[in-house]
Amino acid sequence: MAKKDYHVKMAGDSWVVIGKGNKKPTSKHDTQKDAWDAAKMRAEKAKSKAVKYGKDGKIKDQRSYA
């Protein structure tokens, strides 16, 4: 898996995980927690970073697995 950071953001009524540089979401979730768990798992496998944003668009948490 390529080294890529994963971002959790609100998109419409869903929370999405988006790989840095991607235009389309990697995955879509009903809750922020589910999206955050998915982003952390992907980031850990890629030895990269997961970043969580709140509904206001500000960074709320981030984890590095480098």
Token duo for residue 19? 């790989």
State residue 66's pLDDT score.
79
Residues 20-64 have pLDDT tens digits of 999 999 999 999 999 999 999 999 999 999 999 999 999 999 999
Q: Do residues 46 and 1 touch, judged by C-beta distance below 8 A?
A: yes
Asked if residues 39 and 53 have their Cβ atoms less than 8 Å apart, the reply is no
CB 5 within 8 A of CB 43: yes
| Mean pLDDT computed over 8-24 | 95
